[in-house]
Copies of this chain bind each other. A is one copy, B any other.
Amino acid sequence: MVMSPAVRANMSDVAVRAGVSPATVSRALRGHASVSAGTRERVLRAAADLRYVVSPAASGLSTGRTGTVGVVAPLLTRWYYAGIVAAAGQVLRDHGLDVLLHGLGDAAGRARFFERMPLSRRVDAILFLSIGLSPAETDLLRGMHVPLVFVGAEIPGCWSVRIDDVGGAAKAVSHLINLGHRDIGLISSTVGDGFAFSAPIDRRRGRERAMRSAGIAWPNHLNAAVPWGIDGGAAAMAELLSAQPHPTAVFAESDEFAFGALRTLRRAGVRVPADVSVIGFDDHEMADLLDLTTVAQPMQELGQWAARLLVEALDRPGKAPRSLVLPTRLVVRATTGPPRPERPSRVSRGHR
């Protein structure tokens, strides 16, 4: 007879009902080999009858393991982070791990995180999304003695998975160069907001690499650094448009920047790509809608791989951390094209 007990059943209750000791219940429930089939069956039935669920607190107290992993992200509202969290969470849950989510919010929230270490003793491992660490912070985290996995950052001695930001950015800019562009603007995000993102720096470097290897100069007035977001991109594009002559193509460090840039161009009556080409980075879910050419990064796989690395770290405590680099992919849509031929380039194209 199945009952809905007034108070939660514990392991002893199950033991009594199954006619065995609590220890046997524990073993049976955890699939221990040394339990006879008949006993196991009786235990399982008794547990089901009583709607018994193991107490994670008691179990954790005894084993030292929590069965949960922390996931720390700068912002949960960003499409990109949410996607990674979702993908990682799926894999983690498949391995019986719970996800304790922690959104940093802003620089103050970030500081608070490292001050109070709210994940201390609560998780078996931590996944960090796009969070660069100072040496002091690294030490603090190491002091937790749990595996650390980073997405989008590489910390010595830690597990990590990221994309090749430099290569991806170079790919984007090379695409523009191959189309014939020489005056190529850059929209990148201002740094120093408390987060130490490597992506802005790497993507800028990728652009430089592509420009240099094509023998093209990149004057400073074609670089616009703005706060992250659509509005930032819009402002940056306005700034670039006022340059004389203005760039014939723009590489936006993220699709959000590109979206803002497109808005400015549309409102200014500048045709895309006839007058100005725009390429982004990320392959945001809205990029297809806006026909934006961009460099896709495998968001899902980043999350999945991060989770897999974490599980590996948990399974083999001694193992040396691995670092993965996932490929990016150029997605050509309708916002890039050759520059108008009649417009002379401001940089000579000959040998130098």
Contact = CB atoms under 8 A, between A and B. Distances in A.
A99 B98 contact: no
Contacts of A103: 86, 89-90
A55 B51 contact: no
A100 B68 contact: yes
**A-side interface mostly:** mixed
Interface residues of A, number: 46
Contacts of A260: 289
Interface stretch (A72-80, A148-156, A272-280, A343-351): A72-80
Interface string A261-293: 001000000000000000000000110110000
Interface in A63-118: 66, 68, 71, 75-77, 79, 82-83, 85-86, 89-90, 93, 98-103, 105, 117-118
Contact of A86 (B8, B75, B263, B285): B75
Interface string A109-143: 00000000110111000000000000000000001
A61 interface: yes
Q: How many copies are assembled?
A: 2
A4 interface: yes
A122 B98 contact: yes
A58 interface: yes
A81 B87 CA distance: 15
